[in-house]
Structure 1
Amino acid sequence: MPEAVNLAEKLSKFSEHWSPKTVSKFNGHDIMVVKVKGEFNWHHHDDTDDFFMVLEGRIRIETENGDVELGPGELYVIPKGIEHRPVAEEEAHLMLIEKSGTPNTGDEATAAKITEI
């Protein structure tokens, strides 16, 4: 029997920050949830855009072209090749969509291991 994915329930299963968890897959993409707090490192993706949607809290995405502030229900897509870093003053919950296998830092050597939940 098919089941809906409850994002709040998935987010309740972990507490670490900056550690994306795959909750579903879609046409060769991972749909993930992540808890964030503080600053992530500056990075870019050569081959893919970067999708961020805020589920709870607020984040600022700093880019080489200026900053974008996001609150609950807002999303932003960073075009491939643009240097950026997400920042959250307080804990925030996000949904991310990326091509499967995309390292979250843009570099396989420094990327967080993405797990399914």
Structure 2
Amino acid sequence: MSLIDLLATSAELPDAWRSTVVGRFGGANFKLVRMDDGGYEEETHDFAEGLLVLDGAMNLSIGDQIVEVGAGQLYVVPAGVAHGVAPGSRGTLVILDV
């Protein structure tokens, strides 16, 4: 076992919006992302994705809606649903690829 300081690790990531895998559990990836005020292009996956904001806020774009996901909140994007991140998002994001 090892202890990982997620906020410190995120602060050390060289590029915003470039995820890094910090752990694997069963078939799931546990990834960490540093968000800046920019956005992220729309994407679709063949697996469910959990988006957990540790600090800050993420403006999640689902279809024609923007959902603000705040610190301590989790949004689960079902497999096959297109989603992106609108500008103005900032902080630390955990991505769970299930």
Sort the TM-score into its range (normalised by shorter chain).
0.7 to 0.9
* Offset of residue 98 of structure 1: 1.0
Structure 2, unmatched stretches of 5+, are none
Percent of aligned pairs with the same residue? 24
Please give the residue correspondences for 1:1-117 in structure 2 after superposition, counting only pairs within 5 Å: 2-37=1-36, 38-45=38-45, 47-64=46-63, 66-99=65-98
1:12/1:39 CA distance change after superposition, 3 Å: closer
Stretches (4+) displaced over 4 A? none
More strand by share: 2
What do you get for the CA RMSD once the two structures are aligned? 1.6
Q: Report the Cα offset of residue 88 of structure 1.
A: 4.4
What is the distance in 1 between the residues matched to 2:40 and 2:13?
19
Structure 1 unaligned segments of length 5 or more: list them: 100-117
Paired residues, what number?
97
Quote the offset at 1:19 in angstroms. Answer: 0.5
Q: Please tell me whether Structure 1 or Structure 2 has the larger radius of gyration of its CA atoms.
A: 1
CA contact (8 A) 2:39 2:87 kept: yes
SS of the counterpart of 2:71? coil
Provide the C-alpha distance between the structure 2 equivalents of 1:33 and 1:11, rounded to a whole number of angstroms.
7
**Given the superposition, is the C-alpha separation of residues 32 and 94 from structure 1 closer, same or farther in structure 2, using an over 3 Å criterion?**
same
